Amino acid sequence: MAKEHSRETGSEGLNELVLTSSHVEEFLQELAVLAADQLSLPGHDVSCSVTLVRQKRPATVASSDARARAMDEIQYHFNEGPCLSALGEETTVYVADLESEQRWRDYLHAVDKRELRSVLAVPFQPEGGAKAALNLYSDQPNGFQGEAIEKAEQFAWQASRSLRLALRIAQLTDSRNDLTAAMESRTVIDLAAGAIMGQNHCSQETAMTILKRASSSRNLKLREVAATVVASVSQDASVSTHFDA
């Protein structure tokens, strides 16, 4: 369920959205819903989506509703449209009325004009080669006037900074999780080596050789072999290791 979006759309409001989201995808989903809410008017509902280019292929990573996602998919299918042009040219692309638009012939032919009449695509500020865009859809011609376009561009600019913050937090979280996993793995291996040393009255170097040999012969990760040793020892202290055989 979407969060309550009574908050302002300034940098502080978007940064708060980053901090209250559990992951980047949730932040982008909330961002799409918030953009649609802020740019809609009474009697004029706007749909919004966020396109992200991954491995040179665009994909919708968030949308305020099914209509926005469906409109994105048409562009991806024909490899043309306002969003893809905005991404390629790194500039805002506005289509005031699809009925009179001349670009993107296949895309225009496929779009149902009863569902969609005007489109606004605003690229996020790129960083590290990543590309993303905010896509806004309206079923009315001239659905985005000058003030609305400026508001959308300001929103995308502020969201770009918050997105960089969200990605940075995600990277730090991943690094922390990797470090924690590595420390846990190291602890299990050290415990297993200690058990082998105690049972075989050997050096740590010899114990590690035994573990590595077992890992190789059984085609198991070193941590898995170590966990087996620790489990065996904890269940029965008299069990002797047989990996040296």
- 3-state secondary structure (DSSP) of residue 4: coil
Same domain, 36 and 80: yes
- Give the CA-trace dihedral at 77, 82, 88, 92, to 10 degrees: -160
CA atoms of 105 and 95, how far apart (whole Å) = 14
β-strand pairing of 93-95 with 57-63: unpaired
* pTM of the complete model beyond 0.85: no
Provide the CATH number for the domain around residue 96.
Answer: 3.30.450.40
Same domain, 157 and 211: no
131 in any annotated domain: yes
CA atoms of 97 and 118, how far apart (whole Å) = 5
Decide: 84 and 72 in contact? Cβ < 8 Å. no
pLDDT one-digit tens code per residue, 75-111 = 999 999 999 999 999 999 999 999 999 999 999 999 9
CA atoms of 194 and 210, how far apart (whole Å) = 12
Same domain, 164 and 182: no
Residues found in the chain:
245
**Tally of domains within the chain:** 2
6 in any annotated domain: no
Residue 44 has pLDDT above 90, yes or no: no
- 152 lies in which domain range? 11-173
- 3-state secondary structure (DSSP) of residue 58: strand
Provide the CATH number for the domain around residue 225.
Answer: 1.10.10.10
Decide: 241 and 210 in contact? Cβ < 8 Å. yes
4 in any annotated domain: no
Same domain, 54 and 169: yes
245 in any annotated domain: no
Same domain, 194 and 138: no
- Residue 172: the pLDDT is 45
Amino acid in the structure at residue 187: T
Which one has a higher pLDDT value, 114 or 89? 89
Decide: 152 and 136 in contact? Cβ < 8 Å. yes
Q: Which residue has the tokens 């050096």?
A: 203
Same domain, 74 and 128: yes
20 in any annotated domain: yes
Residue 138 has pLDDT above 60, yes or no: yes
Residue 52: strand pairing partners:
59, 132
- Report CA-CA distances (Å) from 175 to 104, 116, 169, 181, 239: 43, 43, 10, 10, 37
Same domain, 30 and 119: yes
Same domain, 103 and 211: no
Residue 152 has pLDDT above 60, yes or no: yes
- What's the mean pLDDT when you consider all of the chain? 77
Decide: 72 and 63 in contact? Cβ < 8 Å. yes
Ordered strands of the 132-138 beta sheet: 57-63, 47-54, 132-138, 118-123, 93-95
CA atoms of 57 and 26, how far apart (whole Å) = 21
pLDDT one-digit tens code per residue, 220-230 = 887 888 888 88
Q: Which residue has the tokens 């290791």?
A: 241
Decide: 95 and 82 in contact? Cβ < 8 Å. yes
Same domain, 52 and 119: yes
Output the CA angle 125-2-149, nearest 5 degrees: 40
In this structure, the number of other CB atoms found within 10 A of the CB of residue 2 comes to: 12
Same domain, 96 and 185: no
Among 173, 190, 219, identify where a domain stops: 173
